[in-house]
Amino acid sequence: MEVSPNHDESTYWYNFGSMKKQHLFLLLIVVTLLAGCGKASTEVIIEPSPTSPETIPTVTPEPTLNEAPQAYVLPDPLANPTHYRLDLIFNYYSHFGSVTQQITYTNKSSYPMAEIMLVVPPRNFENSYEQYSLTGDLVSSFREEGIITYLMLSRPLEPLETTVIKISFRIYLPDNPGIFGYTNQQANISDWYPFVPPYDEEKGWLAYPRVVDENNIIVGESIVNEFSNFEVSLTLVSHADLIEVAASAPAQGTDGKYTYTLEHARGFTFSISDSYFEHEIVQDGVTIRSYVFMNEIETGISVTEIAANAMKLYGELLYPYPRELISIVVGDFLHNMEMDGMIMISYGIFDFYDGIPQTDLTIMTPHELSHQWFYGFIGNNHALEPWLDEALATYAELLYYERYHPESVDWWWSVRIYKPVPTGFVDSDIWIPGGYIPYRDAVYLQGVHFLHEIRQAVGDGAFFASLKDYAYANTYNLATKADFLDAFSRHTNQDLTPIIAKYFQNP
């Protein structure tokens, strides 16, 4: 059953900037493979022809929604979260920014720390990071190894003791169509500052190198963040009156000087342009705002409608979105990505939207929005166990079609899952042999088969009760496979061992 959202208000702004560049017909050739989300993917889904009716399953039933019992309460955020204060002065037209940063870090482990690790993602791009100073009340020296900086302390940082680290640096955005870089109509500033990765008492610091396959495609996501609090200021120089800013949180301020506050988040992102057209609606108290280029104005309206439906559905299946703003930004690149409070969807998907549900925009908008839960609030280690966000986000696409477009469920199975003929183990990591395509097939698509078999085995009632339980129990935590399966053990006596053994290499 298709449900129209109940909009409290609808507002439309125009920002007249530079014209959208013309896209080459070559795009149709480059982007024919299925894509999920990921910093790495250079793929966009272009709708293939459905397979023959004999290969299409019957329509799966509409989810049976289970209201959360009164005992279901979101857990308290992590005690003593890391606090980031970031002051960015940014020149959009010169593509560089000056940053002063203060990190307030508490040792949340049971052991004294002789050193603290910093991950510096901009160092993945040559000449993109220039550090002027790095000091701290306990920092005696530091050494740099690639994107990692080790801070040697003058004495061990005791459990529950707090220290302050101060860094001054510049970022120079690369000419790169991605989430860290610029094009002629957009600057994207994500993973742009040094951060302290999560610390596991058995595994140590959860920091990993970027994996790039033989086709120069980044495989999955290597950056793992803990839940932290952010206090951010942005000052725009040079024609600030022409520039629009999409961010992970609502802005306070005017005239190119803005401040932002974001709590219990895994990162803070900006997307900046002098070519954005904005549209927003309010759904159940949440502002859904789109930022698109000139030739995508109508689609910018449509995407907020799709998003409103998705946010309503996931609010029922999991819990209501607990922030006041979600931004949907057209990406001037050929992949899709989730960030805290923001998603970016490729211009290719926007440009080929034709207004019907059997299109890529209707697939990818619910996918990326579900990451606000499966990644943004319900964390996981997406280098080692990426299925815990990517398989669930891909399955969320199916749930969206079941609710709003049941007549297109068979089409979704055909083009999204069956056409690629997925293989591999669901619990694969970013180091899977073969690179991005085997990674996608195993983690995203085999992950859908795994979740659907569980749902068929336990029934809709137990499946959706378990999913809600898992969401509530693991918000603000880095969940694991054990956490996921524990939620199911609380709602069903069904033996899931054969299904797990079928899909997992380490069952």
CATH 2.40.50.140 fits 16-75+359-503, yes or no: no
The answer to whether 182 and 274 have CB atoms below 8 angstroms apart is no
Instruction: Look at residue 71 in the predicted model and tell me its pLDDT.
Output: 65
Distance between CA atoms of 375 and 366, rounded to whole angstroms?
14
DSSP one-letter string for 358-404: SSHHHHHHHHHHHTTTBTTTBEE-TTT-THHHHHHHHHHHHHHHHHH
Instruction: Look at residue 48 in the predicted model and tell me its pLDDT.
Output: 35
Instruction: Look at residue 43 in the predicted model and tell me its pLDDT.
Output: 35
Report the run of H or E that residue 466 belongs to, with start and end.
helix 460-474
| SS3 of residue 186 by DSSP | strand
Tell me the whole-structure pTM to 2 decimals: 0.88
Nearest to 147 by CA among 181, 180, 123: 123
Instruction: Look at residue 13 in the predicted model and tell me its pLDDT.
Output: 32
Counting as low any pLDDT under 50, the low residues of the chain are 1-36, 39-70
Instruction: Look at residue 37 in the predicted model and tell me its pLDDT.
Output: 54
Instruction: Look at residue 302 in the predicted model and tell me its pLDDT.
Output: 98
Instruction: Look at residue 507 in the predicted model and tell me its pLDDT.
Output: 80
Distance between CA atoms of 208 and 176, rounded to whole angstroms?
22
Beta pairing class for 204-205 and 228-237: unpaired
Distance between CA atoms of 385 and 482, rounded to whole angstroms?
11
pLDDT, one tens digit per residue, over 77-113 is 888 999 999 999 999 999 999 999 999 999 999 999 9
Instruction: Look at residue 76 in the predicted model and tell me its pLDDT.
Output: 84
The CATH fold of domain 82-312 = Immunoglobulin-like (2.60.40)
Distance between CA atoms of 217 and 46, rounded to whole angstroms?
19
Break the chain into its structural domains and give their ranges: 16-75+359-503, 82-312
Instruction: Look at residue 31 in the predicted model and tell me its pLDDT.
Output: 38
